[in-house]
Structure 1
Amino acid sequence: MSPSHRTPSRRAFLSAALTGTALAMTDGAAAAGTAAAVTGSAPDERHLRRLLDGMDLARKVGQLFVVRVYGHRADAPDPVDERANRRLHGVADAAGLIARHHVGGIVYFAHTRNIRDPAQVAALSAGIQRAALALPVPVPVLISIDQEHGTVARIGRPATLLPSAMALGAGGSPADARRAARIAGTELAALGIRQNHAPVADVNTNPANPVIGVRSFGSDPRAVAALVAAQVRGYRAASVAATAKHFPGHGDTATDSHTGLPVLDRTRAQWEALDEPPFAAAVGAGADVVMTAHVVVPALDPSGDPATLSHRIVTGLLRERLGHRGVVVTDSLGMDGVREKYDDDEIPVRALLAGCDQLLNPPRLPRAHQAVMRAVESGRLTEARVDESVLRILRLKHRLGLFGPTRTDPSAVGTAAHLAAADRIAERTTTVLTGHPGLLPLSAATHPRILVTGAAPASTTGTTGPPVAVLAGALAALGFTASTAGAERAEAAAAGHDALLVCTYDVTEADDQRALVARLVATGIPVITLALRNPYDIAHLDGVAASLAAYSWSDTELRAAARVLTGAAAARGRLPVPVPPLFPLGHGLTYPAR
């Protein structure tokens, strides 16, 4: 190893690499400790390069990885499975992960038990930064999460739950999209989470898409581009790195890249017209990060390699054609889509050769780290190429202020102002698809007794209970007599009610939900359906008196749907996707509030 790669003492490093800066103790509600952080006059490019020069190769390679860690504390094993981190990373906890592997990023998940409540998440983030800044070469960790809102939300109540991307598409307001992102970003930053894997920039042109759907703003590239750009600006205003995903586009795929390798069958001209605009808009709005997709696009790269591993796509299109100068993160390297063609040693090396910077969630971090080290030592991957990526990551950490004091504020999560804003935005997104004349908005004078029944999604993040119970409570608060019944007893419970509200969830031709709706329609009582996810459900349901789309099942969206249904709020939303064969893009019945 050359002398320039020897690790200096912490004192010598700080003196040499960060001359002219001051040291400050971390502070904030959950950041007590003695870890030093760079503050005062902010490091410029020269200082960041000195910081890079102070790292040996192992530390540089570590900065490229963003991984999950089990447990709700930085300095303790996961209480549910004490050996979870040892099996995955060979360490006991987050602090050990940082000390041994020098990782540049950690991504939070609910299933890894990182998330209990705001105070705990803030303390975990602060503990991670203390561990990172206590090392001989102190480099802060960039903590990230998938908090798209809607159907993908790792943090639930008491955080503010905002409408899904497709719901925002139904609202059609860039101002609302920006406000939603700023609220989301403000709350993430208050918990020490400074990178969000959002917004989704995919254009959902395939109603049968198994993985994108309501995670997309819609099917119109120009409308999606405007909302993506607005969200990037909203996150940046909150000092959180937005991550536009999944480049070059996952919206017209029929395979889920978690379980297989999708092929995007577009011509180059089609890609430029349909998939490129939102990513170009994200880059133009200053997106800090773009995430790659594990999809094959033969028109863009005939090699058969997924985009994550394609130099033509990552470097040729994203960097050179679109001009993205920021960080490129892979989608999870544990997904089947990227593991179909190459083994786990080869994938991280090929991702770096393609032009990626952050390597997200490899199946085994020690193995992936060693694979990159060997590639550099063999000359297949140059250290200069590694330096390019590390420097981009350091610049991002600097822009986000991570070299300054760690500050968290759990009290900024789920504030009254944020919750009220979410309610107002959600009202503007609920879409009325059909309604018999004179039925909507429902009146407590003519339809006072409502039975709520139907589907219940497996995920309950963002809800205080099953959707049917939340809706019944919201209707009761609006002056209706609302009761609930499970799908198996809904027909028997229907008697004596004036309307039947049925929650639906991804209805198909061979779905039991179709039979339930048909039985309820046969009672002669008006049946109203509310799609809790994709708005395509109504195409498979016959005879209903009215139908609405909420685009997700959070308390926020369910309460908004109840207000629109009953006229407590105006009906304004319009479909951001067509629902063949029934409705075109932009369809939606509107009426004023009572």
Structure 2
Amino acid sequence: MIPACQNAGALLMVDLPGPVLDDDTREHLRRHAIRAVCLFRKNIENFAQLAQLTAELRLVMGPDALIAIDQEGGGVVRTTFFPFPPSAMSLGACGDPALAFEVGAATARGLASLGINWNFAPVLDVNSNPANPVIGDRAFGSDPQQVTPLALAWLSGSLSQGVAGCVKHFPGHGDTHLDSHLALPRVDKTRGQLENCEFMPFQRAVSEADVPAVMTAHIVYPALDETRPATLSERVLSGLLREAWNYGGVIITDSMGMKAIDDHFGRGEAAVMALAAGADMVMALGRRSAQEETLQTVERALAEGRIEQSDTRRSRLRALARRFPSEKRAYDGVQREQDARIMQAAWARGLTTYRDPQFPPPGASVTLVTLAEVPGEYVSEAGLSGAQLLRHLETLYDVRAHLVSGEVPVDWDALREERRPVILATTTRQRFPGWRRARPDLHLALWNPYAVLDVDAPALLSYGSRPEAVQAVLGYLRGEVAAGGRLPVLLETRSAEHPAQKP
């Protein structure tokens, strides 16, 4: 029989079905000696509930518990009761590593107050493809020389507050036109091209900085491995990251429930392939049957010797948990208010103008065109609804609103005949070709900065629509907040070659 310290459960991270640790899930964790859990919005109701859940998880999983979350900022924030961190791209527009450090630290203080000890952030991807459907504002920019210092400063801020970070998605998800949640992307670049762009932030991070963990990408890079995505490739994980770059921290896969893996390799067998390739931990997220399948397949592979029963792997995971223990920490009102000011100021500093927009003065009559609803999409939470945005703008203007779906045509000529300034607000990560027919007077780009390529109008960019971002936009429209950010991405037209894939 395989010792508990070496069984499959010790090598897997799972998720939970809801906000309460029910008896069946508790027994599942205990029976398989699972030591790692990832939390999502479905597990979170309020601070008191989440604090209770993490406390119960610590009791079940023991002193080496790893309680993880995706708390990147912008559209990828699971809690609703802490100040919202700006998106990475908003910080890229600020271009200030000291501010990135402060935001990383403030983000970590909230998580640490709950006993969450592992944050799957920051993103080190270089978003060099305007058609990228899954990274976008999650990246600090399109220039690796800019991405690296900002991301590493953010990471240092998190570590300073006792929360492990995890750089992702190695070796780079920034130049894909497919979402690995839905398909298996390829990046057909030469080794030299990869070294000059995708690799640069990761290589500098593991050689120059304190990087507790690296998350893999479910992407095929033919220059590295012609058939296997990075997550399953020994050439990438062991050959490049471990041996060539001498990385000694934890390697964890992205979710194996994503279609890039599940549809092409199968959950259980893919988990075996990832561990054999050099990963230390597999994200076995999803329904219980998928978790059980993965556990059983990995257990058999361990017994058969297909996966090395590695003391080194075990010691890496234990070291991570013991360096960053899951302990609830104080987070008083004074500190929380200070962190709220940090987040608000950071969002405001990222505001960026494009083609010198001139907005109507407060009290003017305007027409607003925007999406009625912005549902969540896999990793991202739901965005700002049209009704919510309308309520905000009504504090400034007399607004006539047209709330539409992304595919509903708008009669722009008729709108202009109303002789009211027309404001188009783009509030989603998706890009809609139909917006290229838009003829607004002004454009509020409240999520994806590349939306300015689709709308022929001057724009204000906020890189997100969290409450702090909206308040910064309203402050700008009132003339109280300057827009001092600089566009952190190159605006190209490659999106015509690879249209964004919609979920």
Query: Which bin holds the TM-score, normalised by the shorter protein?
Result: 0.7 to 0.9
Shift in CA distance, 450/258, structure 1 to aligned 2, threshold 3 Å: same
1:541 aligns with 2:455: yes
Match of 2:56 in 1: 127
User: CA-to-partner distance for each residue in 1:374-417, whole Å, 9 max, x for gaps?
Assistant: 1222122232x2x2212101000110134xxx325575699221
Q: For residue 266 of structure 1, what is the amino acid of its counterpart?
A: K
1:342 aligns with 2:265: yes
Q: For residue 71 of structure 1, what is the amino acid of its counterpart?
A: G
Q: For residue 51 of structure 2, what is the amino acid of its counterpart?
A: A
Q: Figure out how many residues of one structure are paired with residues of the other and give that number.
A: 480
Deviation at 1:435, TM superposition (A): 2.3
Indicate which of 510, 529, 538 corresponds to 2:433: 510
Q: For residue 578 of structure 1, what is the amino acid of its counterpart?
A: L
Q: Distance in 1 between matches of 2:47 and 2:398?
A: 33
Match of 1:98 in 2: 29
Q: Distance in 2 between matches of 1:493 and 1:413?
A: 48
Match of 2:299 in 1: 373
User: CA-to-partner distance for each residue in 1:321-361, whole Å, 9 max, x for gaps?
Assistant: 22221110000011111234423332111111111011102
User: CA-to-partner distance for each residue in 1:518-556, whole Å, 9 max, x for gaps?
Assistant: 3xx4xxxxx2211122212222223x3x31111111111
Deviation at 1:192, TM superposition (A): 1.6
Asked if 1 retains the 8 angstrom alpha-carbon contact of 2:393 and 2:399, the reply is no
Match of 2:65 in 1: 141
Indicate which of 146, 156, 168 corresponds to 1:245: 168
Asked if 2 retains the 8 angstrom alpha-carbon contact of 1:250 and 1:293, the reply is yes
Q: For residue 114 of structure 1, what is the amino acid of its counterpart?
A: N
**TM-score computed with the length of structure 1 as normaliser:** 0.75
Indicate which of 448, 452, 458 corresponds to 2:375: 458
Asked if 2 retains the 8 angstrom alpha-carbon contact of 1:118 and 1:413, the reply is no
Match of 1:418 in 2: 339
Q: Distance in 2 between matches of 1:508 and 1:65?
A: 36
Match of 1:70 in 2: 17
Q: For residue 64 of structure 2, what is the amino acid of its counterpart?
A: P
Q: Which runs of 5+ in 2 are unaligned?
A: 405-409, 495-503
Deviation at 1:428, TM superposition (A): 1.0
Asked if 1 retains the 8 angstrom alpha-carbon contact of 2:272 and 2:297, the reply is yes
1:301 aligns with 2:225: yes
1:181 aligns with 2:104: yes
Q: Distance in 1 between matches of 2:192 and 2:219?
A: 18
Asked if 2 retains the 8 angstrom alpha-carbon contact of 1:253 and 1:263, the reply is yes
Match of 2:40 in 1: 109
Q: For residue 541 of structure 1, what is the amino acid of its counterpart?
A: V
Q: Distance in 2 between matches of 1:464 and 1:343?
A: 32
Q: Distance in 1 between matches of 2:465 and 2:37?
A: 28
1:559 aligns with 2:471: yes
Percent identity over the alignment is 34
Match of 2:399 in 1: 483
Q: Distance in 2 between matches of 1:464 and 1:297?
A: 32
1:529 aligns with 2:462: no
Q: Distance in 2 between matches of 1:56 and 1:339?
A: 27
Shift in CA distance, 57/401, structure 1 to aligned 2, threshold 3 Å: closer
Q: Distance in 2 between matches of 1:270 and 1:531?
A: 31
Asked if 1 retains the 8 angstrom alpha-carbon contact of 2:84 and 2:466, the reply is yes
Asked if 2 retains the 8 angstrom alpha-carbon contact of 1:463 and 1:555, the reply is no
Provide the secondary structure at the position in 1 that maps to 2:166. Answer: strand
Provide the secondary structure at the position in 2 that maps to 1:149. Answer: coil
Deviation at 1:464, TM superposition (A): 10
Deviation at 1:169, TM superposition (A): 0.9
Q: Distance in 1 between matches of 2:316 and 2:429?
A: 41
| Mapping 1:218-229, distance limit 5 Å | 218-229=141-152
Deviation at 1:264, TM superposition (A): 0.9
User: CA-to-partner distance for each residue in 1:418-441, whole Å, 9 max, x for gaps?
Assistant: 1111111111111100225xx35x
Asked if 1 retains the 8 angstrom alpha-carbon contact of 2:76 and 2:381, the reply is no
**Greater displacement, 212-221 / 412-421:** 412-421
Q: Distance in 2 between matches of 1:166 and 1:575?
A: 9
Asked if 2 retains the 8 angstrom alpha-carbon contact of 1:451 and 1:497, the reply is no
User: CA-to-partner distance for each residue in 1:240-265, whole Å, 9 max, x for gaps?
Assistant: 11110000111111211111111111
Q: Distance in 1 between matches of 2:399 and 2:393?
A: 11
Q: For residue 209 of structure 2, what is the amino acid of its counterpart?
A: A
Provide the secondary structure at the position in 2 that maps to 1:242. Answer: coil
Match of 1:37 in 2: none
Provide the secondary structure at the position in 1 that maps to 2:184. Answer: coil
Q: For residue 503 of structure 1, what is the amino acid of its counterpart?
A: A
Q: For residue 567 of structure 1, what is the amino acid of its counterpart?
A: G
Match of 1:86 in 2: none
Asked if 2 retains the 8 angstrom alpha-carbon contact of 1:485 and 1:493, the reply is no
Asked if 1 retains the 8 angstrom alpha-carbon contact of 2:375 and 2:382, the reply is no
Match of 1:15 in 2: none
Q: For residue 469 of structure 1, what is the amino acid of its counterpart?
A: Q
Provide the secondary structure at the position in 1 that maps to 2:459. Answer: strand
User: CA-to-partner distance for each residue in 1:127-153, whole Å, 9 max, x for gaps?
Assistant: 1112233xxxxx432110111111222
Shift in CA distance, 465/540, structure 1 to aligned 2, threshold 3 Å: closer
Match of 2:75 in 1: 151
Q: Distance in 2 between matches of 1:67 and 1:199?
A: 21
Shift in CA distance, 493/410, structure 1 to aligned 2, threshold 3 Å: farther
Provide the secondary structure at the position in 2 that maps to 1:331. Answer: strand
Match of 1:317 in 2: 240
Match of 2:115 in 1: 192
Q: For residue 153 of structure 1, what is the amino acid of its counterpart?
A: V
User: CA-to-partner distance for each residue in 1:456-507, whole Å, 9 max, x for gaps?
Assistant: 422499899636634753773xxx3353523369988989886443211457
Higher Rg: 1
Asked if 1 retains the 8 angstrom alpha-carbon contact of 2:352 and 2:483, the reply is yes
Q: For residue 457 of structure 1, what is the amino acid of its counterpart?
A: V
Asked if 2 retains the 8 angstrom alpha-carbon contact of 1:468 and 1:503, the reply is no
Asked if 2 retains the 8 angstrom alpha-carbon contact of 1:310 and 1:354, the reply is yes
Q: Distance in 2 between matches of 1:270 and 1:203?
A: 13
Q: Distance in 2 between matches of 1:452 and 1:413?
A: 38
Shift in CA distance, 551/143, structure 1 to aligned 2, threshold 3 Å: same
